[in-house]
């Protein structure tokens, strides 16, 4: 740890960030050692011991004695699963409350104005993993006919041993920044189900290369547009168009910080042969089973929904499977969606910026769906042929959507990064609250259009019939 502190000081980066990067890169030599020395051993306990030891060592390298938090959380889940397996609803409730409560207590005692690299960072990953594990154990007690396709693929009929659970929870390259994956994937991997397929190392090294590229772009971009610049009078004095585009490009560079970490983790998981998904369209092995970011969609997408679909994919899938779809009994997709976003906000912590960010996501995605509905149902049927044959329109359409994509990403990410109300509201004020203003204008136009213009004409036939009856009665 002293050596890492010295090297971090020489590199001019915080020691916590340096250790995080070293830990992510360590996944590659660990993958090489496993494939060279461990993979052919018939004693599966040695596989579990190797992963548990490597993960615990890396966790201690980053957080020292604070590693006990994750050990305690894993131990509690193990005990709950074995003691309360006969009462699955009680087990699920206690397991959920314990992990979320422990995480929130951790946030309460450690939070600051910045995004801190503390023991709570991997613990939020562990929280989802242990809650999902509890659901999978409970699903394993149900008849297969009562399970959805996703649930049947992750259900566990027999809980693992404590060593197996430790290895799963501390799996190298997966415990620090994600991605999320069910115990069944770890089980299939250690059973050798993916060993017959080729190409994992090549796929992993390509992912590593992309991670290096994104990290370089991130560092160059944030050197030109650092976070604190947006809190200065100098930024507020720039031209409005400059301000909103600066904010948008800053958001892109900030996202690249997260993306580079995920790419490093994904590449190591690919190299060890963990991420097999099936065959692709060409019949080749597909190693994208733990992909946390869809780069092509992220870079070519034009809407906030594209960001949601391409960013932090595994966490979103986890929330969809274990929160959103399990609220089906509410019989209302909007309420379930809002509850899922609310859970994500609470999972991130107490800072008001998280809640504003997820509120903005909900509002903007809803607004995009309204605009798309008007465009496809009202505009295209009337002017579609003319617009589709116009090169000028196509160019304007592309530039407008791309500009919207960049600008609104800056607006949405501001509160997520600046966290404290007095910080993110300063940036909102500096860009004239444009995100609120334009959405409010659209809401007025949309509801006014629905009420006054697109409202169907009154059916006068019942009135005519009533008049005839009245005359006959008279």
Kindly list the catalytic residues.
Answer: 312, 348
65 in any annotated domain = yes
Beta-strand pair 285-286/278-279: antiparallel
459 in any annotated domain = no
Same domain, 381 and 430: yes
Please give the residue that has the higher pLDDT: either 245 or 381.
245
Helix boundaries (H) for 349-390: 352-374, 380-388
Separation of CA 92 from chain center: 23
Same domain, 287 and 419: no
**pLDDT of 382 over the 90 cut:** no
Can you tell me the distance from the alpha carbon of 319 to that of 331, in angstroms, rounded to the nearest whole number?
17
Same domain, 211 and 183: no
Domains of the chain: total: 3
Q: Are 407 and 349 in contact (CB under 8 A)?
A: no
Which pLDDT tens digit goes with each residue over 270-315?
Answer: 999 999 999 988 889 999 999 999 999 999 988 888 888 899 999 9
Can you tell me the distance from the alpha carbon of 6 to that of 403, in angstroms, rounded to the nearest whole number?
43
Indicate the DSSP class of residue 66. Answer: G
User: What is the predicted pLDDT for the residue at 7?
Assistant: 74
**pLDDT of 139 over the 50 cut:** yes
**Token representation of residue 221:** 């971009």
Same domain, 105 and 176: yes
**pLDDT of 151 over the 50 cut:** yes
Provide the angle, in degrees to the nearest 10, between the axes of the packed helices 380-388 and 391-418.
110
**Token representation of residue 61:** 């390298």
Q: Is the dihedral of CA 464, 467, 473, 474 positive or negative?
A: negative
Can you tell me the distance from the alpha carbon of 247 to that of 238, in angstroms, rounded to the nearest whole number?
12
Three-state secondary structure of 7-23: HHHHHCCCHHHHHHHHH
**pLDDT of 68 over the 70 cut:** yes
**pLDDT of 215 over the 80 cut:** yes
Coil vs helix vs strand at 443: helix
User: What is the predicted pLDDT for the residue at 446?
Assistant: 82
User: What is the predicted pLDDT for the residue at 458?
Assistant: 53
Can you tell me the distance from the alpha carbon of 287 to that of 335, in angstroms, rounded to the nearest whole number?
35
Same domain, 323 and 340: yes
Domain encompassing residue 377 = 304-453
Which pLDDT tens digit goes with each residue over 34-50?
Answer: 999 999 999 999 999 99
Q: What's the average model confidence in pLDDT over 347-357?
A: 92
**Token representation of residue 260:** 């580079």
Q: What's the average model confidence in pLDDT over 381-398?
A: 87
Can you tell me the distance from the alpha carbon of 102 to that of 77, in angstroms, rounded to the nearest whole number?
12
- Buried/exposed code over 233-265 (b: 16+ C-beta within 10 A; e: otherwise): eebeeeeeeebbbbbbbbbbbbbbbbbbbbbbb
Same domain, 171 and 215: no
Q: Are 52 and 75 in contact (CB under 8 A)?
A: no
Q: State percent of the chain over pLDDT 90.
A: 69
61 in any annotated domain = yes
Please give the residue that has the higher pLDDT: either 7 or 152.
152
**Token representation of residue 432:** 């004239």
How far lies 297's CA from each of 91, 115, 210, 252, 313, in Å? Answer: 39, 26, 15, 14, 12
User: What is the predicted pLDDT for the residue at 241?
Assistant: 95
Q: What's the average model confidence in pLDDT over 366-370?
A: 89
3 in any annotated domain = no
Coil vs helix vs strand at 34: helix
Q: Where is average pLDDT lowest: 154-168, 187-201, 381-395, 414-428?
A: 381-395
Q: What's the average model confidence in pLDDT over 355-380?
A: 89
Q: Residue 20 phi/psi, 5° resolution?
A: -60, -45
Same domain, 286 and 328: no
Q: State percent of the chain over pLDDT 70.
A: 94
Cβ-in-10-Å burial (0-12, 13-18, 19+) of 106 comes to buried
Q: Where is average pLDDT lowest: 127-131, 400-404, 424-428?
A: 400-404
- 1 falls in which pLDDT band (50, 70, 90)? low
Q: Where is average pLDDT lowest: 282-296, 355-369, 445-459?
A: 445-459
Coil vs helix vs strand at 108: helix
**pLDDT of 469 over the 70 cut:** no
Same domain, 222 and 122: no
Closest CA to 99 of 66, 64, 134, 68: 134
**pLDDT of 467 over the 60 cut:** no
Can you tell me the distance from the alpha carbon of 415 to that of 96, in angstroms, rounded to the nearest whole number?
27
Q: Are 415 and 251 in contact (CB under 8 A)?
A: no
137 in any annotated domain = yes
Same domain, 319 and 427: yes
Same domain, 363 and 278: no
How far lies 245's CA from each of 219, 239, 252, 358, 403, in Å? Answer: 18, 10, 11, 21, 8
87 in any annotated domain = yes
Cβ-in-10-Å burial (0-12, 13-18, 19+) of 2 comes to exposed
Same domain, 70 and 186: yes
Question: Where among 191, 225, 254 does a domain terminate?
Answer: 191
Same domain, 187 and 224: no
Question: Where among 259, 293, 327 does a domain terminate?
Answer: 293
Which pLDDT tens digit goes with each residue over 154-208?
Answer: 999 999 999 999 999 999 999 999 899 999 999 999 999 999 999 999 999 999 9
**pLDDT of 462 over the 70 cut:** no
Rg (CA), the chain: 26
Within 10 angstroms of residue 279's Cβ, the number of other Cβ atoms is 11
6 in any annotated domain = no
Indicate the DSSP class of residue 293. Answer: B
Q: Where is average pLDDT lowest: 11-15, 195-199, 384-388?
A: 11-15
Can you tell me the distance from the alpha carbon of 155 to that of 183, in angstroms, rounded to the nearest whole number?
9
7 in any annotated domain = no
Q: Is the dihedral of CA 324, 325, 328, 332 positive or negative?
A: positive
User: What is the predicted pLDDT for the residue at 429?
Assistant: 95
* pTM to 2 decimal places: 0.90
- 454 falls in which pLDDT band (50, 70, 90)? low
- 386 falls in which pLDDT band (50, 70, 90)? confident
Coil vs helix vs strand at 285: strand
Q: Residue 42 phi/psi, 5° resolution?
A: -75, -25
Q: Are 126 and 74 in contact (CB under 8 A)?
A: yes
Question: Where among 191, 222, 240 does a domain terminate?
Answer: 191
Q: What's the average model confidence in pLDDT over 238-247?
A: 95
Location of structure tokens 């010295």: 6
User: What is the predicted pLDDT for the residue at 453?
Assistant: 64
**pLDDT of 464 over the 60 cut:** no
Which pLDDT tens digit goes with each residue over 50-64?
Answer: 999 999 999 999 999
């Amino acid at each position: 740890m002293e050596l890492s502190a010295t090297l971090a000081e020489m590199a001019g980066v915080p020691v916590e960030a340096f250790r995080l990067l070293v830990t992510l890169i360590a996944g590659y030599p660990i993958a090489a050692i496993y494939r060279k020395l461990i993979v052919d051993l018939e004693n599966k306990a040695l596989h579990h011991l190797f992963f548990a030891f490597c993960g615990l060592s890396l966790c201690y390298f980053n957080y020292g004695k604070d590693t006990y938090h994750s050990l305690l959380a894993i131990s509690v889940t193990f005990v709950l699963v074995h003691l309360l397996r006969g009462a699955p609803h009680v087990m699920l409730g206690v397991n959920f409350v314990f992990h979320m409560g422990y995480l929130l207590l951790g946030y309460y005692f450690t939070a600051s104005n910045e995004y801190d690299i503390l023991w709570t960072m991997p613990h939020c990953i562990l929280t989802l993993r242990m809650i999902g594990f509890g659901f999978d154990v409970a699903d394993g007690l149900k008849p297969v006919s009562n399970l959805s396709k996703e649930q049947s693929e992750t259900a566990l009929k027999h809980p693992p041993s404590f060593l197996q659970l430790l290895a799963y929870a501390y799996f190298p390259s997966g415990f620090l920044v994600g991605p999320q994956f069910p115990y069944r994937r770890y089980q299939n991997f250690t059973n050798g189900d993916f060993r017959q397929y080729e190409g994992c190392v090549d796929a992993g090294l390509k992912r590593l290369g992309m991670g290096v590229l994104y990290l370089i772009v991130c560092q160059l971009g944030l050197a030109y547009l650092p976070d604190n610049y947006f809190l200065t009078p100098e930024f507020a004095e720039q031209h409005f168009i400059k301000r909103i585009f600066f904010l948008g490009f800053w958001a892109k560079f900030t996202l690249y910080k997260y993306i580079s970490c995920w790419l490093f983790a994904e590449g190591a998981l690919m190299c060890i042969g963990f991420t097999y998904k099936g065959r692709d369209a060409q019949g080749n092995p597909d190693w994208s089973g733990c992909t946390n970011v869809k780069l092509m969609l992220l870079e070519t997408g034009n809407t906030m929904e594209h960001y949601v679909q391409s960013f932090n994919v595994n966490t979103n899938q986890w929330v969809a499977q274990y929160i959103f779809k399990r609220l089906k009994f509410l019989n209302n997709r909007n309420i379930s969606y809002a509850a899922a976003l609310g859970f994500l906000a609470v999972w991130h912590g107490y800072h008001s910026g998280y809640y504003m960010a997820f509120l903005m996501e909900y509002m903007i995605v809803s607004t995009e769906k309204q605009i798309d509905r008007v465009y496809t149902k009202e505009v295209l049927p009337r002017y579609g042929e003319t617009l589709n044959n116009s090169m000028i329109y196509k160019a304007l359409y592309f530039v407008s959507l791309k500009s919207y994509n960049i600008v609104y990403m800056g607006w949405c990410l501001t509160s997520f990064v600046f966290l404290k109300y007095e910080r993110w509201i300063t940036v909102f004020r500096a860009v004239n609250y444009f995100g609120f203003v334009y959405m409010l204008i659209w809401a007025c136009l949309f509801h006014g259009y629905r009420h006054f213009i697109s409202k169907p004409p009154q059916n006068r036939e019942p009135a005519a019939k009533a008049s005839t009856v009245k005359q006959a009665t008279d």
